[in-house]
Amino acid sequence: MRKILVIDDEQNIRKMLIRVLSPEGFIVKEADNGLEALKRFQKENYSLVLLDLKMPGLNGIETLKKIRENDLNLPVIMMSAYGSIPEAVEAMKLGALDYLIKPFDIEELKIIIKRAIKQYELEVENIYYREEEEKRFNFDEIIGKSNSINKVLEMVKNVSPTTATVLITGQSGTGKELIARAIHKNSLRKNGPFVVVNCVAFSPNLLESELFGHEKGSFTGAIARRIGRFEMANGGTIFLDEIGEIDPAIQTKLLRVLQEREFERVGSSRSIKVDVRILSATNKDLKKEVEERRFREDLFYRLNVFNVDVPLLRERKEDIPLIVEHLIGKYNKILNKRVKKVSVKAMELLLDYDYPGNIRELENIIERSMIMVKDEIIDEKYFNFIHKETYIEKKGTLKEVEKELIIKYLIQNKENRTKTAEILGISRRSLQNKIKEYQINL
């Protein structure tokens, strides 16, 4: 339920606004002065504030300044019985959404409030998941007809309508996020947010703030209150990618969220309850991580209520022609090309390769070939490098092969380690460790 805070020293105004706004589906709270209102902000979150300009003690302008110190985007509508232009201008400069002169038209106020709250929610949504949410998803996004992918799709169809926590396992590049999206889009929460968190992209301290939010002044650089990803996902789904990489301290906090659906922002002692479905993914063997005491056993069982294991591309090679056809269509639009297909010999090369980077690597191969091709058909000359890679894979020790591939992809990607890790199907951290282990210096 959306909450509105009415701040006005006139009781009859407060009661009137409660009476007319409550039937619209809002929870309306009241405060008769600025200081009381600020205390309420420490305890609750609001979707909108109706703020009187003239009040004893902390006036409307000063109260607005305090609100803006904690939340830069919260919509605030100023109210006054006096039409003072300088004060109206000052309020607008401080970020007030509107300035209404009492008595105001109630129906107009309702329209302004609904529009303001909708805009606020869209602005918050933009921070994390609006772009993600606009990517409408259906099962057609998961390409293939092999037995292994059909088994995965059947599991997704069965688990999606439930409230079960799901752990998606599989190597990097196999499409774990696509599976998570499919579960969300076919669930009862499909109209709610889908928030993605790449756990390996943040240091432990930053990840804690990213997940749970923080209060102003809770650490250096915390210049304002920040809402975390769990609050953003309220009413929807949060997808925790690379869950096997999280720090033990974060594991403890995450366990509490799973058990009690509540947490505290960094720098706060106030518990916040959320209604969130949790999906997670890992390319690690979490059972082994548990055995070696790098991952909490109780957290593992909480996350692994239902497991979906995504197969490697080399285990479903019969799907490669369909995936290639899909990718050609995709990159024809992106690159403004008119490629129709790959040649028979080119497809033979694609089918003979083992794809250490899985679908992500196949997509990289197709995109690169379509950038280069001048004709409507991609022939085998664009995939000659696959012969060399296959040859490398069939000679030398495993470590020699691995080192050779890392060097090859680092050179190919101009030493971009993030992209190289993606193609190789490992995390960036794992790639850093291997570069150090093999003493690779380019």
Residue 297 has pLDDT above 90, yes or no: yes
pLDDT for 440:
85
The CA–CA distances, whole Å, from 428 to 202, 245, 405 equal 12, 11, 15
Residues of the chain with pLDDT > 70, as a percent, come to: 90
pLDDT for 251:
94
**Average confidence score pLDDT of the chain:** 85
pLDDT for 221:
66
247 versus 137: the higher-pLDDT residue is 247
pLDDT for 8:
94
**Whole-angstrom distance, CA of residue 188 vs CA of residue 183:** 10
pLDDT for 132:
46
Residues of the chain with pLDDT > 90, as a percent, come to: 44
Domains located in the chain, CATH noted: 3-128 (3.40.50.2300), 132-309 (3.40.50.300), 314-437 (1.10.8.60)
Q: What average pLDDT score do residues 238-254 get? A: 93
Residue 397 has pLDDT above 80, yes or no: no
* Cβ neighbourhood burial of 105 (10 Å; 0-12, 13-18, 19+): exposed
pLDDT in tens, 125-176: 555 444 444 444 455 568 888 999 999 999 999 999 999 999 999 998 899 9
pLDDT in tens, 183-196: 999 999 998 999 99
Q: How far apart are the first and last CA of the chain?
A: 56
pLDDT in tens, 200-210: 888 887 898 88
Residue 317 has pLDDT above 50, yes or no: yes
Q: In what order do the strands lie in the sheet with 76-80?
A: 27-31, 3-7, 48-52, 76-80, 98-101
Residue 65 has pLDDT above 50, yes or no: yes
Q: What average pLDDT score do residues 303-330 get? A: 93
**Whole-angstrom distance, CA of residue 95 vs CA of residue 75:** 8
**Whole-angstrom distance, CA of residue 312 vs CA of residue 326:** 18
pLDDT in tens, 35-55: 999 988 887 888 899 999 989
Under 8 Å between Cβ of 129 and 232: yes
